[in-house]
Amino acid sequence: MPAASPSKRLDQLQVVVTRPAHQAEHLCHLIEQAGGTAIRLPAIEITAPKDIQAAQDKLGQLEKFNVAIFTSANAVEGLFKLAPPSFSWPQNIQAAAIGRRTASLLKAHAIPVDILPDQGFNSESLLRSEPMIKVSGKKIIIFKGEGGRTLLSETLTQRNAYIETIDLYRRKRPNKGLRNIQQAGKSGSIDLFVVTSNEGLQNLFEMATETEREWLLTTPLIVISKRTAQLARTLGFSHNSVVAHEASDEGLLNSLEQWYADRFRRGIQRGE
């Protein structure tokens, strides 16, 4: 059998992308370039934080910190939505980014990225990097959304760093169901969902009615962490989730291609 052309690696694969609307397009474009169909179903909406004034007050005190950690691209975007027009990044602060997209956005705003994990692109990987191990006595501010994981702040505090956090955005569950998606899925035209956070998966589950949920739980998932795969098992998803080898759009695309190739090979073996 000849190898698939670069533009047909996901030929006719129907993928539901659950990222927030403003962050989904790059992954959707990669899927479509590879011959698949990307169906946009945001499971998270990004809005301003509840206490905008508190966030702006902290932005006025950045010069006292040694390191600033950006936990997501949303944190970068939130910074420049809330900062005053006269804002400029203090030159004395090292900037750390958890992932490549976060780093790219920082660079686009002329903020040099001093600390970036070599691989993994999550809190655990950042904490394993050399600059995040030797932090005793350092003042670190974490740019984040409301709620979320506390691993960074707890671990760095244990390493004797002084930690403050700043909430720059808020995540909300969309007020919509899965009716149209479910109808497509029952007709066989939905192959799998891509979910990039625990909160997104929980929202997706809660957005579904009881009838929609019965179908949802039988649909395969591709996720970016073992934590999300574990949550899927807890919620009752019947397939083992595929965990992307890298928490990036490219990593997700590679996992989609592998999933598609494996399904094709299984079909050949069954004589389909």
Three-class secondary structure assignment of 14-62? EEEECCCHHHCHHHHHHHHHCCCEEEECCCCEEECCCCHHHHHHHHCCH
Number of alpha carbons in the 13 Å side-chain half-sphere of residue 236:
9
pLDDT digits (tens, 9 = 90+) for 63-114: 999 999 999 999 999 999 999 999 999 999 999 999 888 999 999 999 999 9
Q: Which two tokens stand for residue 106?
A: 């920082």
| pLDDT mean over 206-233 | 94
pLDDT digits (tens, 9 = 90+) for 117-156: 987 778 999 999 999 999 999 999 999 999 888 999 999 9
Q: Which two tokens stand for residue 163?
A: 């930690």
Contact 223, 243 (CB under 8 A): yes
Residue 244 has pLDDT above 60, yes or no: yes
Contact 43, 216 (CB under 8 A): no
Instruction: Specify the pLDDT at position 271.
Output: 44
Residue 178 has pLDDT above 50, yes or no: yes
Residue 54 has pLDDT above 50, yes or no: yes
Residue 258 has pLDDT above 70, yes or no: yes
Q: Looking at the DSSP assignment, which residues form a beta bridge with residue 142?
A: 69, 165
Cα–Cα distance, 153 to 185 (Å, whole number)? 41
Domain boundaries, the chain: 6-44+178-270, 47-172
Residue 246 has pLDDT above 90, yes or no: no
Angle at 81 (CA atoms; ends 77, 87), nearest 5 degrees:
105
The CATH class for the domain spanning 6-44+178-270 reads alpha beta
Contact 168, 144 (CB under 8 A): yes
Burial 70-101 (b: 16+ CB within 10 A, else e): bbbbbbbbbbeebbeeeeebeeebbbbbbbbb
Q: Would you say the CATH fold of 47-172 matches that of 6-44+178-270?
A: yes
Cα–Cα distance, 209 to 202 (Å, whole number)? 13
In the block, tokens 């930690």 appear at 163
Instruction: Specify the pLDDT at position 67.
Output: 97
Contact 62, 166 (CB under 8 A): no
Q: Which two tokens stand for residue 9?
A: 């690696």
Report helix angle 198-207 to 226-235, nearest 10: 20
Fold of the 47-172 domain:
Rossmann fold (3.40.50)
Cα–Cα distance, 211 to 25 (Å, whole number)? 29
Instruction: Specify the pLDDT at position 2.
Output: 42
pTM assigned to the model:
0.80
Closest by CA to 186, choosing from 225, 212, 152, is 212
